[in-house]
Amino acid sequence: MLDIGLLGSGGGMPMPNRYLSSILIRYNGRKILVDCGEGTQVSMRLLGWGFKTIDIICITHSHGDHIIGLPGLLATIGNSGRTESLNIIGPKGIEYVVDGLRRVVPYLPYDINIIENPKQLTNIIGDMDIETLELDHSTPCIGYSFYVNRKPEFKVEKAIKNKVPKEIWKKLQDGEIINYSGKEYKPDMVLGSKRKGIKLSYITDTRPVDKIPEFIYESDLFICEGTYGNENDLDKAIRNKHMTFSEAAKLAKNGYVKKLLLTHFSPSIEDPNIYKVNAKNIFLNTIIGKDRLVETLNFTE
Amino acid sequence: MLDIGLLGSGGGMPMPNRYLSSILIRYNGRKILVDCGEGTQVSMRLLGWGFKTIDIICITHSHGDHIIGLPGLLATIGNSGRTESLNIIGPKGIEYVVDGLRRVVPYLPYDINIIENPKQLTNIIGDMDIETLELDHSTPCIGYSFYVNRKPEFKVEKAIKNKVPKEIWKKLQDGEIINYSGKEYKPDMVLGSKRKGIKLSYITDTRPVDKIPEFIYESDLFICEGTYGNENDLDKAIRNKHMTFSEAAKLAKNGYVKKLLLTHFSPSIEDPNIYKVNAKNIFLNTIIGKDRLVETLNFTE
Length reported for chain A: 301
The answer to whether B242 is a known ligand-binding residue is no
Residue B66, classified by CB atoms within 10 Å of its CB into exposed (0-12), middle (13-18) or buried (19+), is buried
CATH of the domain spanning B2-152+194-288: 3.60.15.10
Per-residue burial over B86-123, b if 16 or more Cβ lie within 10 Å, else e, is bbbbbbeebeebbebbbbbbeebeeeeebbeeeeebee
A99 contact B CB<8A: yes
Confidence of residue B237 (pLDDT cuts 50, 70, 90): very high
For residue range B163-180, what is the model confidence (pLDDT) as tens digits?
Answer: 999 999 999 998 899 999
For residue range A164-223, what is the model confidence (pLDDT) as tens digits?
Answer: 999 999 999 988 999 999 999 999 999 998 899 999 999 999 999 999 999 999 999 999
* Mean pLDDT score across all residues of chain A: 95
Closest CA to A10 of A265, A229, A268: A265
Q: Which residues on neighbouring strands pair with residue B294, listed in sequence order? A: B5
A102 contact B CB<8A: yes
For residue range A37-95, what is the model confidence (pLDDT) as tens digits?
Answer: 999 999 999 999 999 999 999 999 999 999 999 999 999 999 999 999 999 999 999 99
Between B12, B39, B104, which is nearest A14 by CB? B39
Domain boundaries, chain A: 2-152+194-297, 153-193
Amino acid at B48: G
Q: Pick the catalytic residue: B65, B220, B233, B291?
A: B65
Active site residues of A: 65
What CA–CA distances, in Å, run from B36 to A23, B70, B257? 25, 6, 25
Q: How close, in Å, is residue A71 to chain B by CA atoms?
A: 7
A45 contact B CB<8A: yes
Q: Does B220 participate in catalysis according to the annotation?
A: no
Among A residues 133-162, those touching chain B with beta carbons less than 8 Å apart = none
CATH of A2-152+194-297, one of 3.40.50.300, 3.90.400.10, 1.20.120.330, 3.60.15.10: 3.60.15.10
Binding residues of A for Zn(2+): 61, 63, 65-66, 137, 205, 264
For residue B80, the chain A residue with the least C-alpha distance is A13
Between B46, B63, B76, which is nearest A16 by CB? B46
pLDDT of residue B300 exceeding 90, the answer is no
| Interface touch B62/A104, C-beta < 8 Å | yes
